[in-house]
């Protein structure tokens, strides 16, 4: 392959291998991960060298890649269309080969099925990871704990609700000394809050937006996470449980006690307006957002800028 370069005195024909690597890297920065993994690294040695440049692989953004799957009642609890699984496997293998361990941020789509093998393979090849956005699939707890052992530099995690939160939170506390940001996409209960207070008392940022949250749990967070700087409960379905036999009720306005406790925070982000579309959706979905029903990419939003995609 050849290209023409105009120089003083005429036009000079050169091969692509002679193009300046920095120029190639600049061009490749405009490509998506799907384009970068489509085979450009096989064009020639210069393209291969440029395709491996660390500037291209600080972030591996798979937030546009969804799986075609259905949930089933028996293990592995999900049936994934073969094409979806093969696509993810191919992109991961090529990306992690080209990146050469330089990825620091990894974003999975909310509705992407990531198997234990996928996560293990990724963890072994992304030792410098600082930020991770997991999909909603919550049955990879065991392998996730093993992966945390390899991610010593992890600082920020977006994850679904899980059953055994103490084990995962303890693993983060043990291995990730600079961990400071957590976003939970799903119901957040006192069990999870207690895990944070026990193992991650120095947590700085917590986002629970669009989740089901009990008032007692919110008060527990404010009382026990004393190092918290930012708390986001925007569009949450806040529930108060009165003494039995009275049923739980939706809290539509924060009382003075909560506001006073939250006053020490640098940022306390809330929205509980009846006219807010997102608040209406959280209530309609009973605190477990069905993101597939709404605008594409809506799940990526967050009032905390560092947690938005």
157, 135 Cβ separation under 8 angstroms? no
Q: Measured on CA atoms in the order 38, 42, 46, 51, is the torsion positive or negative?
A: positive
The pLDDT of residue 55 is above 60 = yes
Residue 248, pLDDT score:
85
Other Cβ atoms less than 10 A from the Cβ of 145: the count is 17
| Top-confidence residue, 72 or 60 | 60
- pTM for the model stands at 0.89
* Distance (Å, whole) CA 54 – CA 101: 9
Three-state helix/strand/coil letters over 13-55? EEEHHHCCHHHHHHHHCCCCHHHHCCCHHHCCHHHHHHHCCHH
Residue 168, pLDDT score:
92
Q: Exposed, middle or buried: residue 123 (CB in 10 Å: 0-12, 13-18, 19+)? A: buried
What is the tens place of the pLDDT at every residue in 259-305?
Answer: 999 999 999 999 999 999 999 999 999 999 999 899 999 999 999 99
Average per-residue pLDDT for the chain: 89
Residue 116, pLDDT score:
85
Residue 82, pLDDT score:
62
What is the tens place of the pLDDT at every residue in 157-176?
Answer: 999 988 788 999 999 999 99
* Distance (Å, whole) CA 298 – CA 309: 10
* Distance (Å, whole) CA 96 – CA 101: 7
């Amino acid at each position: 392959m050849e290209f023409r370069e105009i120089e003083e005195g005429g036009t000079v024909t050169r091969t692509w291998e002679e193009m300046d690597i920095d120029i190639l890297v600049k061009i490749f920065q405009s490509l998506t991960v799907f384009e970068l993994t489509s085979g450009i690294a096989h064009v020639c040695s210069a393209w291969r060298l440029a395709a491996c440049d660390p500037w291209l692989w600080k972030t591996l953004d798979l937030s546009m890649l969804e799986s075609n799957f259905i949930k089933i009642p028996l293990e592995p609890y999900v049936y994934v269309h073969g094409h979806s699984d093969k696509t993810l496997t191919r992109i991961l293998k090529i990306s992690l080969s080209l990146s050469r361990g330089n990825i620091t941020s990894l974003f999975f789509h909310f509705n992407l099925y990531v198997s234990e093998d996928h996560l293990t393979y990724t963890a072994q090849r992304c030792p410098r990871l600082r930020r991770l956005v997991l999909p909603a699939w919550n049955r990879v707890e065991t392998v996730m704990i093993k992966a945390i052992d390899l991610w010593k530099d992890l600082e920020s995690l977006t994850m679904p609700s899980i059953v055994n939160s103490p084990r995962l939170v303890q693993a983060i506390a043990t291995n990730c000394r600079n961990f400071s940001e957590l976003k939970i996409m799903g119901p957040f209960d006192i069990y999870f809050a207690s895990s944070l207070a026990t193992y991650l008392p120095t947590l700085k940022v917590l986002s629970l937006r669009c989740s089901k949250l009990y008032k007692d749990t919110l008060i527990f967070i404010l009382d026990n996470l004393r190092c918290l700087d930012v708390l986001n409960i925007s569009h949450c379905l806040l529930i108060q449980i009165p003494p039995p036999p009275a049923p739980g009720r939706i809290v539509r306005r924060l009382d003075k006690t909560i506001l006073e406790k939250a006053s020490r925070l640098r940022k306390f982000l809330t929205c509980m307006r009846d006219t807010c579309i997102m608040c209406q959706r959280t209530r309609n979905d009973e605190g477990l957002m069905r993101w597939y029903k709404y605008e594409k990419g809506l799940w990526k939003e967050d009032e905390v800028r560092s947690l938005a995609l």
